[in-house]
Amino acid sequence: MKTLLILFVFTTISFADDPNRLYSTKQSLSFEELKKICSTKIVDTVYTLSDYFVEIDLSKQTGYLHSRFDSIKTFKVSTGTKKIKDGIETNTGIFVIQHKASKWYSTQFDSTLMLHWMGFNYGIGFHALAGKSYYKYLGNKTSSHGCVRISREDGKELFSKLNYGAPVLVHKGETAIRISFADKSSNEYKYYDSENLPKEIKRRMNHLYKGSFLNFVNEKILIDNKNITHDGISIGDFNKVAPRQRIYPDYLFIEITIPEIKAELIPVNYFSIEKLFASTD
């Protein structure tokens, strides 16, 4: 029979509904919490000083407006498809709002009037249309030439809240990197320019894939419309993320040995708000 040894760690962490924030008044980690830590993939995080950012799930044709102040707002979208002439699929990645106009005419597609235009990936952006015939596709089907179509009501709200530099995370249900709100009163964040940011993100992704992320990634990175260009940055491949991240040094550890989980070395003093264990739900 395998030995089960749990050394409780005195810390202030537990899992919250929001995987980007871990906090609790507990004095120790429970067995279930330790089990979750050992069996859950972690993802990287970049930070924004903006008060809002948007997440678009292409697989669900759904958008989420994240707020520093309020609960998450869900809204319906209709994104790009190759099934129409000159159409493309909306690109995945992390982008930021680069351009805004309450009214904008498409020079590529017969001067179509786009309302509440917010561009983030060259000619790709959020916008509403003058009529309502496209509403039937929102939340149900891809129908645009590449942009993220939204209702006029949602467009008006997003336009009022998303300033230049507000992040836009576009994915297909899984991502190896997420966005969180930076503490505006803190100076602990690292800023990379537009040339070096993609290189640093690539380095961090490689460590995620190899299982060495917790040993070689310590900085919190800020993003805005100066270091993220229209190209955006990669969200990585969640399927390549190592299910176990190695942690050193190998002293001060908790060893959990149960049939379904291989023993892991976890340092007692390592857990903190900065080391995020993302839910796969």
CA distance 92 to 26: 38
The string of pLDDT tens digits covering residues 95-108 is 999 999 999 887 66
Looking at residue 247, its pLDDT comes to 72
Q: What's the pLDDT score for residue 109?
A: 58
Q: Residue 157: in which H helix or E strand, if any?
A: helix 152-161
Residue ranges of the chain with per-residue pLDDT less than 70:
1-39, 107-111, 248-281
Question: CA–CA separation, 50 vs 164, rounded Å?
Answer: 9
- Name, in order, each residue with C-beta under 8 angstroms of 238's C-beta and a sequence gap of 6 or more: 41, 43, 174, 175, 176
How many Cβ atoms sit within 10 Å of the Cβ of residue 103? 11
Listed in sequence order, the residues at least 6 apart from 249 whose beta carbon sits closer than 8 Å to its beta carbon are 267
Determine the Cα angle at 228 with ends 225 and 230, to 5°: 90
pLDDT of amino acid 227: 97
DSSP-based three-state secondary structure for 198 = helix
Q: How many Cβ atoms are within 10 Å of 233's Cβ, its own excluded?
A: 23
**Amino acid 36: pLDDT:** 60
For residues 166 and 97, the answer to whether their CB atoms sit within 8 Å is: yes
Residues contacting 180, CB < 8 A, separation 6+: 20, 21, 45, 46, 47, 48
